Chains A and B, each alone.
Chain A
């Protein structure tokens, strides 16, 4: 199972290089080989960031709701603290989103 997964990952990551090699053999234009890798990096990075950010935020919300159920009187303050914490966690995923957008649209490294 793990070996299959590794193989799939390697083939995904390595595919643009192979494609570029084939294309480069056909037309020796050169340049722009980093573009496909940038697309893959943006997608994979955003996927990892979204998944782990969801895990972290889920833990935070779970314990906040738990605390609110135990002490309904303190619900307002717990909610404020939870929202601030969620924003701080979410900003990490937002950094990855910004990096992905830079990779996709600005393309600083050609």
Chain B
């Protein structure tokens, strides 16, 4: 990837902090400052930053109520933190000259592993280790040798797909933007327009204008949409996984009395 890499704006002089880590710290500083500004003077009638953050968090709460039911409000801190962090990281990655934290496999893998271990821990805490492991064996004991590998693979594929989806979407967009910028650069269309020949000026100038309009009018709105959508999808899948662990617990409680007679 050496061709399209560029030195980021925020770059520490020593080498033991990679650039995506410094940008992660930057995102953390921004989010912490927002949270501090919102909660410094909490008023009953919110104004300014507090109003903004309350609107954002209310969106999260309605989403959680829709997907997980009232049981899910306990996990609002985890879900909202993940969503805000990923959204802010995606937005920072759009700015040219920055290394977006979510465009690095390590950041997305960290987020996905947090989700993976958390929903297993929630499931085990809700119904105990033995009962939780029993769900891996399927409905019929005779099918257990078939069901256990399938369930194991499907559970292990979840963090993998969470990681690669976010990473691939972000990096794909960045590579597209980098290629467009290289096409427009002094070795590309702009250089052609400045080369002095009449045909070069016409073709390069026209092409440059078309490229700039295309980038500003189409690619950047698309990347903004993708940044919002990927954060939403990550949060949505997190809620579905945690909701699945909780729901299994409720199912188990419903099924445990043998003479319930609901069937």
Contact = CB atoms under 8 A, between A and B. Distances in A.
A, B assembled together: yes
Interface of A: 77, 80, 83-84, 87-88, 90-91, 94-95, 97-98, 101, 105
Nearest to B162: A91
B172 interface: yes
A60 to B, nearest CB: 14
B165 A90 contact: yes
B172 A84 contact: no
Given A84-B237, A101-B171, A105-B1, A94 B229 contact: no
Given A94-B168, A94-B169, 10 more contacts: A77-B66, A80-B66, A83-B232, A87-B165, A87-B236, A88-B161, A90-B165, A90-B169, A101-B171, A105-B1
B165 A91 contact: yes
Nearest to A93: B168
Given A83-B229, A87-B165, A105-B1, A94 B172 contact: yes
Contacts of A84: 233, 236-237, 240
Contacts, number: 39
B29 interface: no
Interface residues of B, number: 17
Q: Looking at B66, B161, B240, which has the most chain A CB atoms within 10 Å of its CB?
A: B161
B167 interface: yes
A16 B169 CA distance: 31
B233 A97 contact: no
Contact of A98 (B1, B164, B240): B164
B4 to A, nearest CB: 9
A84 B175 CA distance: 25
Contacts of A91: 161, 164-165, 168
Contacts of B1: 101, 105
Contacts of A98: 164, 167-168
A97 B168 contact: yes
B236 A95 contact: no
A83 B172 contact: no
A107 B56 CA distance: 43
Nearest to A76: B66
B26 to A, nearest CB: 25
Nearest to A96: B168
Contacts of B164: 91, 94-95, 98
Q: Looking at B165, B169, B171, B175, which has the most chain A CB atoms within 10 Å of its CB?
A: B165
Interface string B226-245: 00010011001100100000
B165 A97 contact: no
